[in-house]
Amino acid sequence: MRIVAIVPAAGRGTRLGAATSKALVPVKGVPLLTRAVRGLLEARRVQAVVVAAPPREVEPFTAAVRAFGESCRVVAGGADRTSSVRLALDSIEPGSCDGVLVHDAARAFTPTTVVANVAAALEDGAEAAVPAVPVTDTVKIVDSHDVITDTPDRSALRAVQTPQGFAEGVLRRAHTAQAASIAPEATDDAGLVERLGIAVRTVPGDVRAMKITTPFDLAVAEAVLADQDV
């Protein structure tokens, strides 16, 4: 199966408070973006990677992935995550792949097993597959006054991660439908596919696929890597 990965990396990372774009923030000297792309390619299921960079930073982002040669190229991203994914998808020749993985640069420490789990589900015929982990906190729904209105059954809740995998045509249809609608932006690609009524399969995720959002997350990643030669 020919699989191409898209890495949306065009976010500013305001919550991280770093001087550079979040994807270029180094952990043990290696930028998050470089780590995310390396993890995808090391799983040996992905033939090519397309990174969506902040439009004014295509050059430094290209430098961060230069080591991967022809396997990885960089395009200008958009104003929100959905448009960054769509712009990267538009740069991929229709029919040139069977499946597309979408992987947040911010999930730079995702183990290769998670990439393999998603790819395996696509190879098994799933139209959409996302890594998921059980939720350990009790989650509440609140109203506009921050008053709790509901407590969903925790056993039925999952936190989903990336890479999220899709049959190529399914992801294109989902993004075309979103571009033509007035529906609010979805926070992940599976959300767009769910709106088409297509079943999204979950596969085992991993706590190490955590999203680096705050300085605390970065400190956790640095602590975990402290004794490792990576």
Instruction: Name the residue with tokens 């769509």.
Output: 86
| Amino acid letter, residue 76 | A
CA dist 116 and 204 (Å) reads 10
Are 52 and 9 in contact by the 8 Å Cβ rule? The answer is yes
Q: Which one among 3, 4, 5, 8 touches ligand C5P, defined by CB under 6 A?
A: 8
User: Closest approach of Cβ 9 to ligand C5P, in Å?
Assistant: 5
Residue 80 binds ligand C5P (CB under 6 A) = yes
Express the helix, strand and coil content of the chain in percent, nearest 5 each: 40, 20, 40
User: Closest approach of Cβ 80 to ligand C5P, in Å?
Assistant: 5
Are 49 and 39 in contact by the 8 Å Cβ rule? The answer is no
Residue 99 binds ligand C5P (CB under 6 A) = no
Stretch near ligand C5P under the rule CB under 6 A, chosen from 40-48, 75-83, 94-102, 163-171: 75-83
User: Closest approach of Cβ 191 to ligand C5P, in Å?
Assistant: 12
For 43-71, letters b (16+ CB in 10 Å) and e give bebbebbbbbbbeebbebbeebbeebeee
Scanning residues 45 to 64, which ones bind ligand C5P (CB under 6 A)?
Answer: 52
Residue 78 binds ligand C5P (CB under 6 A) = yes
Residue 217 binds ligand C5P (CB under 6 A) = no
Q: How far is CA 224 from the centre of its chain?
A: 21
Q: Which one among 47, 71, 91, 213 touches ligand C5P, defined by CB under 6 A?
A: 213
Stretch near ligand C5P under the rule CB under 6 A, chosen from 57-65, 99-107, 151-159, 169-177: 99-107
Instruction: Name the residue with tokens 């809740």.
Output: 157
Residue 164 binds ligand C5P (CB under 6 A) = no
Stretch near ligand C5P under the rule CB under 6 A, chosen from 64-72, 73-81, 94-102, 220-228: 73-81
Residue 81 binds ligand C5P (CB under 6 A) = yes
Of residues 4, 107, 110, 6, the one with CA closest to residue 53: 6
Residues engaged in binding ligand C5P (CB under 6 A): 8-11, 22-23, 52, 77-81, 84, 104-106, 211, 213
